[in-house]
Amino acid sequence: MRRLNHAMTVAPQLQHRRITVALSRDPYDVVIGQGSLANIGQALVEAGIQAGRKVLVVSNADVATPYGELCLSSLRGHGFDAELLLIEAGEDQKTPATIAKIHDTAFARKLERSSLMLALGGGVVGDMTGFAAATWLRGIGVIQVPTTLLAMVDAAIGGKTGVNHPGGKNLIGAFHQPRLVLIDPNTLATLPQREFRAGMAEVIKYGILGDPELFTLLERCKEPDHAEGLTNGLLETILERSAAAKARIVAADEKEGGLRAVLNYGHTFGHVVETLCGYGTWLHGEAVAIGMVAVGELAAQRGNWTREDADRQRRLIERTLLPCAWPPLDPEAVLDTLQGDKKVRDGRVRFVLPTSIGSVEIHDDVSREEILRCLENLQA
């Protein structure tokens, strides 16, 4: 059993904040700055990437329309040979077939081992571009430029890449760390509110697993369901604290041998929801919100944390206008899908269970009967 219980101090609100993912091999920076996308070319140069390299920018139409040319112009202005590839970015498109399309373009563009792929978009674009880069010529560099809140605070940092399999989410993938993560909060201006709310699920997750002060700040926010409601610099605080938390955990456990598993809080049940309801039915963050409510119920049922804390979590999720209700899924199908989870060890499902707001533990002793009782309580 592992325990995580450490609060984080508020990061200074700088115009451009640089957070280092301090890996023992190939560390990299997360750069957060208003308007930084317009300077992506300079950011690559500062990251030690030589001008003249080929860069395949992978994006989707909704993101490329407002930001594609801005990105390409900056890259080309700093001497990079940049081209844009558009892909479909729905969760149901996160498949080997889409990876093949990226590989086909890499072949046509004659990308070399010194070339780069750049993901401009949300978590799905980032996951697929990262996996395509990891598997092209046995691995070329990737740059992550997230444009959704969920990708900014979670998916773009840490090197997890992959695609879905009919039997489970992200079962096909690789760890492939980016050379740089660049976050421009200005891109959130064009993000649909539903996508913003989905990202807030991951922010709430950070509050539960190690930042009770952040959780309290979110509770005090009158309208946490949209960016305009995050007043007094709260959005910048969210981005910085979330990135710093992810960077610290990834640096300590790059390939999820132990501590990093806490980042899966809410994801074990959440991935079941995505798999059984069909990819694309729920946004990833929405499924994580449902998963957090479910694992909160399981923890309260087992006595790992109080009913009061479980209710606090649920109220914040509800106030963020995220779904809480467990869908009508066959319990046996749920159990079967849980056994296919990536985090299963020796046939035992590992759950990240909260012990309080700001503290979690990893358990592999949750019985079949406890899971079934939890599902029954969720349906009551």
List the catalytic residue out of 54, 78, 271, 312: 271
Q: Mean pLDDT for the chain?
A: 93
Q: Which letter does DSSP use for residue 50 in this model?
A: P
Active-site choice (179, 241, 284, 312): 284
What DSSP letter does each residue of 220-255 carry, written as one string? H-S-TTSGGG-TTTHHHHHHHHHHHHHHHHHHH-TT
Domains and CATH numbers, the chain: 36-183 (3.40.50.1970), 193-379 (1.20.1090.10)
165 assigned to active site: no
Which neighbouring-strand residues pair with 86? 59
What average pLDDT score do residues 8-19 get? 55
Catalytic residue among 256, 274, 286, 361: 256
- Write down the catalytic residue from 53, 78, 241, 267: 267
Position 115 pLDDT exceeds 50: yes
pLDDT at 345: 82
* Three-state DSSP class for residue 41: helix
Mean pLDDT of 147-153: 97
- N-term to C-term CA, the chain: 31
> Is residue 94 among the annotated active site residues?
no
What is the pTM assigned to this prediction?
0.90
Q: What does the pLDDT read at residue 57? A: 98
- At 3, the pLDDT band (50, 70, 90 cuts) reads very low
Segment 143-156 mean pLDDT: 97
Q: Is 246 a catalytic residue?
A: yes
Is 160 known to be catalytic? Answer: yes
Note if 264 is an active site residue.
yes
Q: Which of 260, 312, 350, 363 is catalytic?
A: 260
Q: Is 223 a catalytic residue?
A: no
CA distance 16 to 13: 8
pLDDT(31) > 80 = yes
pLDDT digits (tens, 9 = 90+) for 80-107: 999 999 999 988 999 999 999 999 999 9
Identify the pLDDT of residue 139: 98
